């Protein structure tokens, strides 16, 4: 049994990760400032004897004893991370610095939740870990993309200069239950719109692509990376690539609604045109690959939002 810190543990991915770690018998210390986290996400295990919640902003240093640190604290949806770009950068850079300092001090293994956004609007497709990316440093996504790029640089700095045991996961679009209904990300937006009989808002012409990974596969990948001792960076995601228009049509088909139609809105600046992970490295070094097909994952996510919004789809 280990003691494991999960920063950002009251968020979407963090809360599923904690549930999995508790089920394996570990003790979990969840650090979260509740910016995009919710009490409801941690409700299922709030009274678990091995769970402790600490309301804490990672921009401030903290002293704890632990064997492992999963560092997930950072808003992930463009709507939230663009809300205060300076705070997002501080969270990524100073927050990561603080938790790396903690890992060094207590000799814990540290896992950074990085992102496919380090590839920006990629000119290489699918994206391999060796691709250095195409990021606009002064665009609206920069606070997140450059923040995560700097967080990766800090992480390899601690590895090489301080001998800290680190791993970097480059997470691609992940979805599932416990996303916030007002999160602004495409899967939650489309499902909530369709369930409420509203039109589905495609930004641009819908030809841009993403590759969506179901949450249980992602949690499995993150824990395998932690346990492997591999440094990374390693792509974690589902290589099944779809256009945003195909995603909208699939969700409309699964919800079986004729109240909603597709409407088109302006494409935000610097919105990546395509994204698909090359997961050869994760397959080889972690023996990991995603198992949940898109339609199955969407059905589980739709069921969650039906409950959340108090809507039963006929």
The whole-angstrom separation of Cα 124 and Cα 147 is 21
274 touches 226 (CB < 8 A): no
Alpha carbons within 13 angstroms on the beta-carbon side of residue 180 total 17
Look at residue 276 and give the partner it binds from ligand UDP, ligand NAD, none, a contact being a CB closer than 5 to 8 Å depending on partner kind. none
- Strand 241-243 to strand 209-211: parallel, antiparallel, or no bridges (unpaired)? antiparallel
Per CB under 6 A, contacts with ligand UDP among 261-290 are 268, 271
Contact status: 224 vs ligand UDP (CB under 6 A): no
Look at residue 119 and give the partner it binds from ligand NAD, ligand UDP, none, a contact being a CB closer than 5 to 8 Å depending on partner kind. none
Look at residue 238 and give the partner it binds from ligand UDP, ligand NAD, none, a contact being a CB closer than 5 to 8 Å depending on partner kind. none
Per CB under 6 A, contacts with ligand NAD among 37-56 are 37
Cβ neighbours of 129 (radius 10 Å): 18
Contact status: 83 vs ligand UDP (CB under 6 A): no
Residue from the set 6, 18, 22, 35 that interacts with ligand NAD by CB under 6 A: 35
Per CB under 6 A, contacts with ligand NAD among 135-194 are 171, 173-174
Q: Which candidate in 144, 175, 264, 304 is catalytic?
A: 144
117 touches 148 (CB < 8 A): yes
Contact status: 12 vs ligand NAD (CB under 6 A): yes
- Which residue from 202, 200, 194 is spatially nearest to 311, judged by alpha carbons? 194
Residue from the set 28, 186, 236, 298 that interacts with ligand UDP by CB under 6 A: 186
Contact status: 244 vs ligand UDP (CB under 6 A): yes
Look at residue 34 and give the partner it binds from ligand UDP, ligand NAD, none, a contact being a CB closer than 5 to 8 Å depending on partner kind. ligand NAD
Element (H, E) at 45: none
Kindly calculate the radius of gyration of the chain based on its CA atoms and give it in whole angstroms: 19
The whole-angstrom separation of Cα 219 and Cα 168 is 14
Minimum CB separation of residue 314 from ligand NAD in Å reads 30
Minimum CB separation of residue 162 from ligand UDP in Å reads 32
Minimum CB separation of residue 147 from ligand NAD in Å reads 9
Nearer of residues 184 and 289 to ligand NAD, judged by Cβ: 184
The whole-angstrom separation of Cα 199 and Cα 189 is 10
Nearer of residues 95 and 206 to ligand NAD, judged by Cβ: 95
The whole-angstrom separation of Cα 284 and Cα 185 is 31
238 touches 289 (CB < 8 A): no
Question: How many residues at the interface with ligand NAD, by CB under 6 A?
Answer: 29
Q: State CA 244 to chain mean position distance.
A: 18
Residue from the set 22, 28, 66, 73 that interacts with ligand NAD by CB under 6 A: 73
Cβ neighbours of 49 (radius 10 Å): 8
Encoded tokens for 116: 């496919």
Does 161 participate in catalysis according to the annotation?
Answer: no
- Applying CB under 6 A, which residues contact ligand NAD? 7-8, 10-14, 31-37, 57-59, 72-76, 91, 95, 113, 115, 171, 173-174
> Catalytic residues, which ones?
144
């Amino acid at each position: 049994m280990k003691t494991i810190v999960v920063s950002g543990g009251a968020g979407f991915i963090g809360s599923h990760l904690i549930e999995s770690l508790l089920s394996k018998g570990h003790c979990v210390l969840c650090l979260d400032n509740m910016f995009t986290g919710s009490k409801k996400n941690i409700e299922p295990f709030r009274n678990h004897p091995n769970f402790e919640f600490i309301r804490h902003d990672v921009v401030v240093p903290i002293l704890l004893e632990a064997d492992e640190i999963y560092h997930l604290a950072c808003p992930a949806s463009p709507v939230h991370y663009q809300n205060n770009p300076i705070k997002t950068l501080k969270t990524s850079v100073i927050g990561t610095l603080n938790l790396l300092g903690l890992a060094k001090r207590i000799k814990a293994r540290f896992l950074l939740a990085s992102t496919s956004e380090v590839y920006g609007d990629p000119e290489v497709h699918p994206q391999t870990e060796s691709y250095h990316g195409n990021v606009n440093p002064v665009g609206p996504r920069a606070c997140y993309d450059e923040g995560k790029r700097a967080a990766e640089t800090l992480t390899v700095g601690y590895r090489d200069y301080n001998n800290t045991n680190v791993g970097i996961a480059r997470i691609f679009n992940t979805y599932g239950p416990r996303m916030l209904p007002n999160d602004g990300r495409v899967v939650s937006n489309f499902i909530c719109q369709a369930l409420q009989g509203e039109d589905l808002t495609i930004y641009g012409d819908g030809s841009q692509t993403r590759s969506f990974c179901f949450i249980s596969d992602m949690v499995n990948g993150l824990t395998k990376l932690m346990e492997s001792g591999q440094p990374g960076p390693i792509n974690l995601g589902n290589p099944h690539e779809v256009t945003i228009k195909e995603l909208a049509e699939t969700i409309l088909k699964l919800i079986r609604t004729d109240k909603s139609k597709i409407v088109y809105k302006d494409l935000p600046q610097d919105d990546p045109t395509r994204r698909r992970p090359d997961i050869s490295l994760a397959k080889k070094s972690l023996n990991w690959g995603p198992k949940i097909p898109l339609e199955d994952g969407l059905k589980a996510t739709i069921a969650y939002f039906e409950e959340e919004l108090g809507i039963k789809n006929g």
